[in-house]
């Protein structure tokens, strides 16, 4: 995986938007998806993996009971991918990971907590268009038929009805991205999408090591975090927008009026 370190705010923008020019369209349309890390050294794990135990054993029980106890009206379509999206959105451990099409939204999550400002952060980026070109044939064919570069929950439901079906599609774990339903304004404002690996026990770090040309990591030095945070706030990339409601407003106000710590 190609790793780069931002030297300044301007250099960081160049790194984040590198490769976004689409010659066919003659437009800037990035094929990359982004995830912000407060700690560049942190391992990227799903909530299901962090739960402990055997993910393959516990995952079906979690999802079955979520569906059993959730209200019937929480999903518009009774499909695996709608239920998984709702469950992840409300904090249940799943094999899904949160990503965003917006590099600035990812940068927000890398700089959201003042307590982590003494740590180098990072932005992970994966070329989802290229990742989808190496998917098993039924999935790749569905994208080609639709003329799309990423999945929606509806598209996936037409090809994969269960997690067992997904797991059996290829002998080696593969990675795909899908856009969740617009469950609320938070998902819309965060320009969100989810990644999912075809095995509940597979790790994203291992997948990235196997596909280094599809991934990159941009280190956000601790020395730049205050400047980045203040400039994101001026661009209105804040909790007020990304977490609409009183909780997001309160979190933004707490951070916005916190004095800068001297080191």
| pLDDT beyond 70 at 262 | no
CA dihedral sign, ordered 120, 15, 211, 193: positive
3-state SS, one letter per residue, for 66-89: HHHHCCHHHCCCCCHHHHHHHHHH
The residue-averaged pLDDT of 144-172 equals 92
* pTM of the shown model: 0.92
What is the average per-residue pLDDT within 1-5?
92
Nearest to 128 by CA among 155, 104, 108, 148: 148
Check residue 114 and give its pLDDT: 93
Query: 245-259: per-residue pLDDT in tens?
Result: 999 999 999 999 998
The model's pLDDT over 97-110, given as tens digits with 9 standing for 90+, comes to: 999 999 999 999 99
pLDDT of residue 190: 95
Q: What is the H or E stretch that residue 122 is in?
A: strand 121-127
Instruction: Provide the mean pLDDT of the chain.
Output: 93
Nearest 10 degrees: CA dihedral of 170, 172, 175, 181? Answer: 40
What percent of the chain clears pLDDT 70, i.e. is strictly above it? Answer: 99
Q: Band of the pLDDT at 260, cuts 50, 70, 90?
A: confident
70-107 b/e with 16+ CB inside 10 Å = b? eeeeebeeebbbbbbbbbbbeebbbbbbbbbbbbbbbb
Tens of pLDDT, residues 206-229: 999 999 999 999 999 999 999 999
Give pLDDT, residue 254. Answer: 93
Residue 76's pLDDT is what? 76
**∠ CA 85-90-91, rounded to 5°:** 100
Q: How many CB atoms lie within 10 A of CB 236?
A: 10
Mean pLDDT of 221-245: 96
* pLDDT tens for each residue of 166-197: 999 999 999 999 999 988 899 999 999 999 99
User: For the CA atoms of the chain, what is the radius of gyration?
Assistant: 19
Q: How confident is the model at residue 81 (pLDDT cuts 50, 70, 90)?
A: very high
Q: Which residues partner with 125 through β-bridges? A: 34, 216
Q: What confidence score (pLDDT) does residue 74 get?
A: 73
b/e code 14-30 from CB counts within 10 Å (16+ = b): ebbeeeeeeeeeeeeeb
Phi, psi of 169 (to 5 degrees): -75, -20
pLDDT > 90? residue 71 = no
Fill in the DSSP letter of residue 237. Answer: -
pLDDT at 263 over 60: no
Give me the residue label for tokens 């990423």.
150
């Amino acid at each position: 995986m190609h790793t780069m370190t931002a030297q300044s705010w301007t250099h960081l923008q160049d790194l984040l938007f590198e490769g976004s020019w689409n010659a066919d369209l003659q437009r800037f349309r990035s094929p990359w998806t982004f995830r912000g890390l407060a700690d560049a050294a942190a391992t990227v794990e799903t909530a299901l993996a962090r739960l402990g135990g055997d993910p393959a054993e516990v995952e079906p029980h979690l999802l079955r009971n979520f569906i059993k106890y959730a209200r019937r009206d929480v999903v518009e379509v009774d499909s695996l991918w709608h239920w998984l999206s709702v469950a992840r959105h409300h904090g249940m451990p799943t094999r899904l990971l949160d990503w965003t099409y917006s590099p600035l939204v990812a940068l927000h999550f890398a700089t959201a907590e003042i307590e982590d400002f003494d740590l180098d952060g990072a932005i992970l980026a994966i070329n989802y268009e290229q990742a989808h070109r190496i998917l098993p044939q039924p999935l790749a064919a569905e994208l080609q038929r639709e003329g799309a570069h990423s999945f929606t929950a509806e598209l996936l439901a037409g090809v994969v009805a269960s997690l067992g079906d997904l797991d059996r599609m290829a002998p080696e774990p593969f990675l795909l991205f899908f856009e969740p339903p617009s469950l609320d304004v938070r998902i819309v404002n965060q320009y969100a999408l989810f990644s999912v690996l075809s095995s509940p026990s597979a790790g994203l770090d291992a997948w990235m090591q196997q596909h280094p040309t599809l991934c990159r990591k941009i280190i956000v030095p601790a020395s730049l975090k205050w400047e980045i945070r203040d400039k994101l706030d001026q661009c209105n990339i804040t909790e007020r927008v990304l977490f609409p409601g009183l909780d997001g407003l309160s979190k933004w106000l707490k951070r916005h009026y916190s004095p800068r710590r001297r080191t």
